[in-house]
Amino acid sequence: MHWFLDPIINHYADFKGRATRQQFWMYTLFSMIGYYALFLAGFGNLVYLFTLGLLLPTLAIAVRRFHDIGKSWKLLFLLYLATNVPALVFYALVFSFGGIPVPDIVFMLLPLVYVLFLGILVFLLAKPSQLQVNKYGPPFAEVTNSPNKVNEP
């Protein structure tokens, strides 16, 4: 539970510094467990509040995770756009514009674009930490296997 509460209590909107793979993925796991537990229990309105309440800490830990691999928040933003815009367009075409003819190729390409950019995003979030100091700060001691000393480049 520490993995879920620490980013919320101590780093709610902290976009500076670094977050390890374990910190990011454990936070993601616990937030998804909470989300699905509320959803399956039938608390639909609480799901929205839960998601809204976790928006800033989720963005913050993702930005810090990108910092840990030496990438900027701008790349994360572009990947979020590239992942979500095709999904929104696909949703709009399927459910909102029923009377407008849309070529079948659009329905084939939009999900592929979504999966491609989602795969790139997951690949980057799963990359190992940089073991040396980068412009976002030093690595965590558990990453460098040295409790008191940071590996220098």
Q: What is the structure's pLDDT at 147?
A: 45
The pTM of the whole model exceeds 0.85: no
- What amino acid is encoded at 121 in this protein? L
Per-residue pLDDT of the chain (153 residues; tens, 9 = 90+): 777 878 778 878 889 989 999 999 999 999 999 999 999 998 888 999 998 999 999 999 999 999 999 999 999 999 988 888 877 877 777 776 665 666 777 777 878 888 898 899 999 999 999 988 888 888 877 655 544 444 444
**Predicted local distance difference test score (pLDDT) of residue 58:** 92
pLDDT of the residue at 142: 63
Encode burial over 136-153: b for 16+ CB neighbours within 10 A, e otherwise.
Answer: bebbbeebeeeeeeeeee
Show me where the domains of the chain are located. 1-69+128-153, 73-126
- What pLDDT score does 76 carry? 92
- Residue 139 has a pLDDT of 85
pLDDT value for 148: 44
Paired residues of 137 in beta bridges: 134
Cα(142)–Cα(132) distance, integer angstroms: 13
